Amino acid sequence: MNSLNLAIADQAVTPLSIETLKQAYAAGTTTPRQVLADIRERAETYSDRNIWIHLLSDAELDDYLSKLEASDVNSLPLWGIPFAIKDNIDLAGIPTTAACETFAYTPDESAFVVDQLIKAGAIPVGKTNLDQFATGLNGTRSPYGECRNAFDAKYISGGSSAGSSVSVALGLASFSLGTDTAGSGRVPACLNNLYGVKPTRGLLSASGMLPACRSLDCMTIFALNADESNLVLSVVEGPDDNDGYSRANPYPNQTRQYGVRAGDLKIGVIQSGQLEFFGDAAYEQAYLATVERIKKDGAQIEELDFSPFVEAAKLLYEGPWVTERYLATQPLIDEQPEAIFPVVREIIEPGKNASAAALFTAQYRLQELKAKCDAIVAQYDCLLTPTAGRFFTIDELLEEPVLRNSQLGHYTNYMNLLDMSGLAIPTAFTDQGLPFGVTLVGSAFADRALLSIAKRFETLFDLPLGASDLPRERTVAAQVSTTQTIDVLVCGAHLEGLPLNWQLKERKAVLKLKTQTAPVYRMYALAGGPPFRPGLVLDEEKGAAIDVEIWTVPSEQFGSFVAGIPAPLGIGKVKLADGSFVSGFICEPYGLEGAEEITQLGGWRAYMATK
């Protein structure tokens, strides 16, 4: 292995972090052609893992490599970065099998997301093994062999995005694409010490992806850390006119909002009596240790009722949505059912008989559950759950393939049904040396908020990259705060209980704090009214501390609130007693004509008490 020359050649596993490769390319110590040759060589040593369905040949790679060699190393964000593709996602000129050779076809065009990656300079390594037709969470349901865990071949890899996760953990790709209907982009991340980005449905185009359930499915990303997860997401996200489920990314969720989450964190965790580890004491201990470590970092941890999420999860396989899996496999399942893996066929076939009445009944109940779950999620910066409750050996899984697959989805099956975003992050290893991780859960389009929280947590958990012995790199990122709400300082008629307070409450604003400004302001009762209004003016020489309130306003309501503020008032930055600044009411100097100074009273309430 002389190609990488990155002082890691003696490691049993050579992680291909994007940042490390970029540095090596810039230094001229390796080239994309050498990296791909090295990957192909090392892939042979992991043949027992059954990672690949199609590993690209030198001839198939040549066009990609030649185009890169004609361009500058700094010209593209993913120049020379190797990635793997789950084999239910199209790569032009390479068969898509969905782990079923009889079903296979060769697309003329790559999937929209794959095309975006190639345009950004990334190089496809190959198509990876999966639970056939993306039906499973374990990686054993493939005629191409059971995909085995990156850490211990006796254990499952997780699925259905099995080979995609193991390829990254073993250093055969820098990142990979998976898909996720029920947890396929999260469970394999947990079991292989990776980050698993389960984005908001529609944030990534599904064009060129064979879905398990078209209305629910989404592409996912496996990566080695939060920064690289965000980088890849930034390249592939975006609307696609050819995908009816594609959605535009709102401003609060765009890549500029990513960084290290600063400030207070309020995190919801499952009530202790509702946790399920299915007999895995090591995973239970790893979870409890994870929560305790996050609590020591200062996060506010609060227990919640997880039962509506569990009930929603059951609808995915016990309800009529299994019909979508049946539709995805037609006409093969009707004409050649024997071509489908037995346990996969057993799951999909009942979907043929679901009725419209059953679908609507399930939708009605799902809508009720979604209202409950959305209300719970809205109370927190994120939820935190185990990603998987138990780590099965392959033999254990095959003993009870349906039951234990269902157990693997206990904490994941609900998410796409409820239109939520999720991020699986690694946090611990068990005493047996097996990886464990948790999932951060947010509402739709909370993807960057979750990645920013994960970036903050990276400093709490001292973990290696993938299945290597190399430590995770410590990189610097800007601090960011929540984009879901904006704190607003009020000092007059908007105070709690006063005439204009309704303008905040009807926008679902919440009183956060009663405090004072720094002693650098003067307050005036402005002419006119009702309603009577104060004016707050900066005066660093003769100012005083003024009583104020801080209200937390939903971001989407902030604009309409500000638009209703009449002259001479406006919103500016106001300094608080603790030295921090917050957006709040200020007054233009011209508005003081005919005003009465009331600074000496210390605040608007004291003034109104004199009236």
> For 116-139, what is the HEC assignment?
HHHHCCCEEEEEECCCHHHCCCCC
pLDDT above 90 for 13: no
Angle (nearest 5°) at CA 239 between 237 and 241:
145
pLDDT above 70 for 6: no
Closest CA to 237 of 78, 447, 90: 447
Split at pLDDT 50, 70, 90, the class of 352 is confident
Which candidate in 157, 160, 176, 207 is catalytic?
A: 160
Between CA 457 and CA 544 the distance in angstroms is 40
Q: What local confidence, expressed as pLDDT, does residue 317 receive? A: 81
- pLDDT tens digits along 461-478: 989 999 999 988 778 888
pLDDT above 60 for 296: yes
Whether 435 contacts 193, CB under 8 Å: yes
Split at pLDDT 50, 70, 90, the class of 8 is very low
Active site (annotated) includes residue 160: yes
Split at pLDDT 50, 70, 90, the class of 351 is confident
Which candidate in 3, 17, 22, 86 is catalytic?
A: 86
Which candidate in 184, 205, 229, 452 is catalytic?
A: 184
- pLDDT tens digits along 445-465: 999 999 999 999 999 998 999
pLDDT above 80 for 11: no
Between CA 30 and CA 3 the distance in angstroms is 6
pLDDT above 70 for 9: no
- Distances in whole angstroms, Cα of residue 8 to Cα of each of 12, 78, 124, 195, 542: 9, 21, 23, 22, 64
Q: What local confidence, expressed as pLDDT, does residue 376 receive? A: 97
Give residue 204's Cα distance to chain centre.
Answer: 12
Q: What is the mean pLDDT of residues 51-65?
A: 97
Active site (annotated) includes residue 142: no
Closest CA to 12 of 466, 366, 515, 573: 466
Between CA 440 and CA 453 the distance in angstroms is 9
Considering the chain, what is the average pLDDT of its residues? Answer: 94
pLDDT above 90 for 318: no
Whether 200 contacts 444, CB under 8 Å: yes
Whether 344 contacts 131, CB under 8 Å: yes
Kindly report which listed range (22-36, 190-204, 348-362, 511-525) carries the lowest average pLDDT score.
348-362
Q: What local confidence, expressed as pLDDT, does residue 2 receive? A: 32
Taken in order 578, 582, 587, 588, the sign of the CA dihedral is positive
Q: What is the mean pLDDT of residues 77-94?
A: 98
Q: Which residue has the tokens 């296979």?
A: 104
Q: What local confidence, expressed as pLDDT, does residue 481 receive? A: 85
3-state secondary structure of 76: coil
Split at pLDDT 50, 70, 90, the class of 7 is very low
Kindly report which listed range (47-61, 229-243, 341-355) carries the lowest average pLDDT score.
341-355
Q: What local confidence, expressed as pLDDT, does residue 12 receive? A: 67
Q: What is the mean pLDDT of residues 424-435?
A: 97
Q: What is the mean pLDDT of residues 28-45?
A: 96
Active site (annotated) includes residue 573: no
Q: What is the mean pLDDT of residues 532-552?
A: 96
Where do the domains of the chain lie, and which CATH numbers do they carry?
A: 18-480 (3.90.1300.10), 485-608 (3.10.490.10)
Between CA 570 and CA 584 the distance in angstroms is 8
Kindly report which listed range (126-135, 373-382, 525-534) carries the lowest average pLDDT score.
525-534
Share of residues in the chain with pLDDT > 90 (%) = 85
> For 287-337, what is the HEC assignment?
HHHHHHHHHHCCCEEEEECCHHHHHHHHHHHHCCCHHHHHHHHCCHHHHCH
Between CA 168 and CA 193 the distance in angstroms is 10
Q: What local confidence, expressed as pLDDT, does residue 472 receive? A: 85
pLDDT above 50 for 375: yes
Closest CA to 147 of 126, 133, 169, 166: 166
- Helix, strand, coil percentages for the chain (3-state, nearest 5): 35, 20, 45
